[in-house]
């Protein structure tokens, strides 16, 4: 007899279970997905010890006959696909026919099920993959699966289960994820008899979402092309989290944890959010079934797109579309009637307020009064000098050309009350008070100016240095700089001559004139060095631009007169993403009347 043998079904199931069932949350996921596929309207999940001791999932779905329930514990037994071609148009969540046998092979498993047209149900008990009993039983229509002592017979896996709280939090995450795309189904999660989630069936996804993101402002995102639709509700860049846990993505209604999708989403926020922070929200990708492969991994958490670039572009478009409108500032246009002085955001139905939910009656009230203020601003703002180290004629010309000073925007529409700590500009807003970080604001303005110059959509004023600066570099630095010198040209930074490990700075952008150029160039070189080989040129240049913007910006501890403050706010309105600095820190924060009233214990 040869040395090769076919493994027993029981062993194969245990091997498969290693991939599918990683922890209690994976069991919950598979069982919920089966309940969803069975057309359930209500799914209840009960846990003991975070699912380590017991997981019970009950549904009111179609149930199974005795024969089917016996089949369901066999490997590769499924009612969901029949032939290969079904795999490419599968609309159910399951299709592999592996989940039930895998789970049953690594636990003490019991399934009670009854179809709606039968009077008696079936109860099957399986232990470590071995069927112990099959009996008739009285049961309501639907299916209940009990999984006890998960991994009791696979010690290596058992050891890897975490603390009850950790496992519990993973289960909550899964239930939330599954429930978000199925608002019509009611979900209830009990742990040690205590209800942790109670989500009644809802009409719309938005209702379900708002239940699961209490107090978080979520904004509609949407982009569509070539039969692919990307839609969802995402939080603004100030509502970030320290993990991606509350960032849910769905492909054709299937919750996935796909690295490509998550990365695209995070990248779309770019520098709007701080390093180490993550956006939150819910995104649905609807794509013709033939253009996506869901059979990539046994957990079905990953997908492959036929046209990944299109999907990526649409995600980016949908997010940047939302970010550009800054809908998270919408609240500021409301509550106008409480605002003494009547200073309201001044862009009439303009982009900054054109986000979802705007244009309602409340916002309308604000618009009326801003016109009065706009006139006032026209006279004052037309003459304001630019801020920074020298008047930036270019920006002024640009502003005039666009007529934007006259039109006014959100920031320029605020009434400047003064400066605090030589760093913060204090403004009155319709809802209270806004503090603008002058350094962050200026950094954002210069960042965008430099970026436009680099991409060719704008020009930057440069200045030849009367006395060129000579900088000594290490051989490595010299090498790095010589390779990137050409890229720095469009940014207005002309550096030459790398012989003898020295370089000469000949020309600089006007906005960098008064800065410590040697330090700037050294910073740029080390940024490029540190960004490593895996970063694209665009990313590298982006870092360089942020560094230049930072060096060129008015520092903290710099007193600004009223006109300069006004000018800064006016320029901020011209920025595409005015609400955060290139490093993701916020440019402005609001202290609302409600906050103030709370401070004074008026509420």
Ligand X SMILES: Nc1ncnc2c1ncn2[C@@H]1O[C@H](COP(=O)(O)OP(=O)(O)OP(=O)(O)O)[C@@H](O)[C@H]1O
Q: Footprint of ligand X on this chain (CB under 6 A)?
A: 30, 34-35, 38, 59, 61-64, 72, 77-80, 94-100, 143
Residue closer to ligand X (CB basis): 95 or 284? 95
Residue closer to ligand X (CB basis): 175 or 322? 175
- 255 contacts Mg ion (rule: CB under 5 A): no
- Least separation, in Å, of the C-beta of 100 and Mg ion? 7
- Least separation, in Å, of the C-beta of 191 and Mg ion? 23
CA 480, chain centre distance (Å): 34
Residue closer to ligand X (CB basis): 77 or 310? 77
Residue closer to ligand X (CB basis): 138 or 418? 138
Which of ligand X, Mg ion, none does residue 196 bind (CB under 5 to 8 Å by kind)?
none
Q: Tell me if residue 288 falls in helix, strand or coil.
A: coil
Q: 121-127 and 130-137 as β-strands: parallel, antiparallel, unpaired? A: antiparallel
Residue closer to ligand X (CB basis): 61 or 345? 61
The tokens describing 440, both together, are: 């962050």
Which of ligand X, Mg ion, none does residue 72 bind (CB under 5 to 8 Å by kind)?
ligand X
- Please give the torsion angle defined by the CA atoms of residues 194, 196, 202 and 208, in that order, rounded to the nearest 10 degrees: 170
- Least separation, in Å, of the C-beta of 178 and ligand X? 13
- The count of other CB atoms within 10 Å of the CB of residue 204 is 10
Binder among 50, 61, 63, 94 for Mg ion (CB under 5 A): 94
- Least separation, in Å, of the C-beta of 76 and ligand X? 9
Do 121 and 143 touch, CB atoms closer than 8 A?
no
- Least separation, in Å, of the C-beta of 81 and Mg ion? 12
CA–CA separation, 359 and 578 (whole Å):
21
Helix, strand, coil percentages in the chain from 3-state DSSP, rounded to 5:
40, 25, 35
The tokens describing 63, both together, are: 């149930």
Which of ligand X, Mg ion, none does residue 95 bind (CB under 5 to 8 Å by kind)?
ligand X
The tokens describing 584, both together, are: 């993701």
- 34 contacts Mg ion (rule: CB under 5 A): yes
- Least separation, in Å, of the C-beta of 317 and ligand X? 33
Q: Mark the segment that binds Mg ion (CB under 5 A) among 13-21, 44-52, 96-104, 193-201.
A: 96-104
- Least separation, in Å, of the C-beta of 80 and Mg ion? 8
Which of ligand X, Mg ion, none does residue 80 bind (CB under 5 to 8 Å by kind)?
ligand X
Nearest-CB residue for ligand X: 94
- Least separation, in Å, of the C-beta of 97 and ligand X? 4
Residue closer to ligand X (CB basis): 303 or 480? 303
CA–CA separation, 284 and 404 (whole Å):
37
Separation of first and last alpha carbons in the chain? 86
- Least separation, in Å, of the C-beta of 94 and ligand X? 2
State the helix-helix crossing angle for 24-37 and 164-180, rounded to 10 degrees: 20
Residue closer to Mg ion (CB basis): 21 or 525? 21
Q: Tokens 């989630």 appear where?
A: 197
Closest CA to 384 of 572, 208, 131: 572
CA–CA separation, 285 and 498 (whole Å):
50
Q: Tell me if residue 417 falls in helix, strand or coil.
A: strand
Residue closer to ligand X (CB basis): 46 or 98? 98
Q: Tokens 């996921």 appear where?
A: 29
Which of ligand X, Mg ion, none does residue 62 bind (CB under 5 to 8 Å by kind)?
ligand X
Contacts of 454 (CB under 8 A, 6+ apart): 490, 491, 541, 545
Residue closer to ligand X (CB basis): 63 or 186? 63
Contacting residues toward Mg ion, per CB under 5 A: 34, 94, 99
């Amino acid at each position: 007899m040869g040395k090769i043998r076919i493994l027993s079904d029981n062993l194969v199931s245990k091997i498969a279970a290693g991939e599918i069932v990683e922890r209690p949350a994976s069991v919950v996921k598979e069982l919920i997905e089966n309940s969803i596929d069975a057309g359930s309207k209500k799914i209840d999940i009960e846990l003991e010890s975070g699912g380590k001791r017991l997981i019970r999932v009950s549904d009111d779905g179609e149930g199974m006959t005795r024969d089917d329930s016996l089949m369901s514990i066999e490997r590769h037994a499924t009612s969901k696909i029949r032939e290969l071609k079904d795999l490419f148009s599968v609309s159910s969540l399951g299709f592999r026919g592996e989940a039930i046998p895998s789970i049953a092979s690594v636990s003490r498993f019991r399934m009670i099920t009854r179809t709606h047209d039968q009077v008696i149900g079936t109860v099957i008990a399986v232990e470590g993959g071995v069927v112990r009993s099959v009996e008739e039983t009285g049961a309501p229509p639907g299916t209940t699966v009990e999984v006890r002592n998960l991994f009791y017979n696979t010690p290596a896996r058992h050891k890897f289960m975490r603390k009850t709280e950790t496992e519990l939090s993973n289960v909550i995450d899964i239930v939330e994820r599954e429930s978000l795309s199925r608002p019509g189904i009611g979900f209830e999660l009990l742990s040690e008899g205590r209800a942790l989630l109670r989500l009644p069936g809802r009409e719309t996804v938005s209702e379900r979402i708002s239940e699961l993101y209490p107090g978080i402002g979520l904004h509609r995102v949407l982009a569509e092309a070539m039969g692919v639709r990307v839609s969802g509700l995402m939080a603004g860049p100030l509502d970030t989290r320290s993990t991606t846990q509350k960032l849910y993505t769905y492909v054709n209604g299937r919750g996935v944890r796909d690295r490509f999708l998550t990365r695209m989403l995070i990248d779309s926020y770019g520098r709007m959010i701080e390093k180490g922070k993550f956006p939150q929200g819910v995104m649905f990708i609807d794509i013709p079934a033939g253009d996506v492969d869901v059979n990539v991994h046994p957990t079905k958490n990953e997908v492959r797109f036929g046209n990944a670039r299109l999907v990526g572009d649409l995600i980016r478009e949908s997010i940047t579309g939302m970010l550009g409108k800054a809908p998270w500032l919408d609240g500021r246009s409301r509550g106008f009637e409480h605002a003494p002085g009547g200073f309201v955001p001044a862009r009439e139905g303009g982009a900054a307020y054109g986000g979802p939910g705007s244009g309602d009656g409340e916002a309308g009230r604000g618009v009326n009064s801003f016109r009065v203020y706009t006139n006032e601003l026209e006279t004052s703002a037309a003459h304001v000098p630019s801020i920074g180290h020298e008047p930036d004629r270019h920006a002024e010309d640009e502003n005039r050309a666009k007529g934007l000073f006259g039109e006014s925007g959100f920031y320029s529409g605020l009434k400047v009350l003064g400066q605090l700590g030589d760093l913060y500009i204090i403004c009155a807003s319709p809802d209270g008070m806004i503090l603008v970080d002058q350094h962050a604001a200026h950094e954002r303005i210069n960042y965008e100016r430099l970026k436009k110059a680099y991409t060719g959509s704008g020009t930057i004023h440069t200045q030849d240095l009367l006395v060129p600066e000579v900088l000594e570099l290490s051989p490595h630095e010299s090498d790095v700089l010589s390779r990137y010198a050409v890229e720095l040209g469009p940014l207005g930074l002309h550096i030459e001559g790398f012989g003898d490990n020295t370089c000469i700075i000949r020309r600089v952008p006007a906005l960098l004139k008064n800065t410590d150029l040697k330090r700037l160039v050294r910073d740029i070189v080390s940024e490029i060095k540190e960004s490593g080989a895996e970063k694209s040129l665009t990313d590298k240049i982006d870092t360089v631009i942020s560094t230049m913007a930072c060096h060129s910006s008015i520092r903290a501890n710099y007193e600004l007169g009223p006109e300069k403050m006004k000018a800064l706010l006016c320029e901020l309105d011209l920025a595409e993403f005015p609400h955060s600095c290139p490093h993701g820190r916020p440019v402005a924060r609001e202290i609302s009347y409600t906050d103030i009233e709370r401070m004074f214990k008026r509420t």
